[in-house]
Structure 1
Amino acid sequence: MFQIGKTIVSEEILENDFVCNLTACKGACCVGGEYGAPLEDDETDKLVDIYQKVKPFLRPEGIAAIEEQGAFIKGEDGEWETPLVDNNECAYAIFSDQGVAKCGLEAAYEAGATKWKKPISCYLYPVRTREYSEFTAVNYHKWEICDPACTLGAELKVPIYKFVKDALIKKFGKKWYSELEEVAAENARS
């Protein structure tokens, strides 16, 4: 672990490789698991505000789940998260003709319907952050469904922190990311 500003960062994001391999995993991170995508407080308002613009991009099952449960829910851990369809996939998940899960929020963004891409937790994945009173923890979340992404990342030699560069900059800023790159360069030399 090392510190950058008010963050405590795991070396695992420097030491492990990762590049999403949707051909292999079919977007399983949007489908697997027991909980929805973690949401930051300000993201709950965004989901409510953009719902009508996003709705045309969603599946009927997702719309039904959102209209029954709400645009977001409070999870068992007391944190905000996206609702699920039948305790399975994220209500905002959509599927390609090939059965690949993708984000309906991102589809709306890419079509110009909204100005918000998706929750930062999804954008950052496989990096997970957790807010504490004095600092933010920045960790690698290893999940076996992402083994193909780890394999592809190793083949392409793309460390996690480079794969999620834009998301890390969005979350923490360019200066923070520059400091992360300095730590990575120091670690590579040692």
Structure 2
Amino acid sequence: MILVEHTVISDDIRDELFVCNLSKCKGACCVEGDLGAPLEMEELPVIEKIAGAVRPYLSEAGQKELDKQGAYVLDSDGDYSTPTIGGKECIYAIYDDKGILKCGIEQAYLDGEIDWKKPVSCHLYPIRITKYDEFEALNYDRWHICAPACDLGKELGVPVYKFLKDALIRKYGEKWYSSLCREIEEREEEEKEA
């Protein structure tokens, strides 16, 4: 484990290799699973505020569910998440012309319609955060649908923490990320010397 400020980071985030390969997985993480994307409390007013600007980017089914369920839901685990269409894809998921699922929120952001990229849980995937009273635990989430990302990560030699640099900085800041990199570099030096 790696300790940085109020976070405990699993060694897998340093050791595992990962680069999203949308051409292979087709954005399956937006449709697989039982729930939508986890949302943090501070994201709820943001997603509610941008829902109108994002609505035109959504599929017809996504728009219907947005109208029916709202911008977010309280899920069966007692946490907030994005709504889904029939218990499958996130209402914010959209298909591009190649059949790849992408994020309607992110597309609105890229088009300059909103100033929020997407839920941080999506941006950070395959890292999942568990919050405790005194700290947050960051763990690498292994999922069979990400096998192409693991293969591409190995091919390119990119560890999870480097692939997710922007997302980690968004969540914890530059100083935190620099500390994480320093801790990892020091460990790697110690391991070489051992």
Once the two structures are superposed, residues 105-160 of structure 1 have per-residue CA deviations (whole angstroms, 9 ceiling, x without a partner) of 00000000000000000000111112111101111111110010001001000000
RMSD: 0.7
Unaligned ranges ≥5, structure 1: none
- Once the two structures are superposed, the pairs formed by residues 87-106 of structure 1 within 5 Å of their partners are 87-106=87-106
The aligned residue for residue 157 of structure 1 is 157
Measured in 1, the distance between the counterparts of 2:151 and 2:3 equals: 28
Point out the more displaced range, 179-188 or 157-166: 179-188
**How far apart are 1:97 and its partner, in Å?**
1.6
TM-score, with structure 2 as normaliser = 0.96
CA distance in 2, matches of 1:52, 1:175: 35
Moved over 6 A (4+): none
Superposed displacement of residue 180, structure 1: 0.7
* Partner secondary structure for residue 149 of structure 1: helix
1:136 aligned residue: 136
Give 1:84 shift: 0.2
How far did residue 3 of structure 1 move? 1.2
Q: Kindly, what percent of the aligned residue pairs are identical?
A: 49
How many residue pairs end up in the alignment?
190
CA displacement at 1:183 relative to structure 2: 1.6
Give the Cα–Cα distance (whole angstroms) in 2 for the partners of residues 130 and 172 of structure 1.
14
C-alpha displacement at 1:74, in angstroms? 0.7
CA–CA separation in structure 2 for the residues paired with 1:186 and 1:42: 34
Cα distance per residue 1:22-54 (max 9 Å; x no partner): 010000000111110000011111111011111
Query: Where do 1:31-180 residues align within 5 Å?
Result: 31-180=31-180
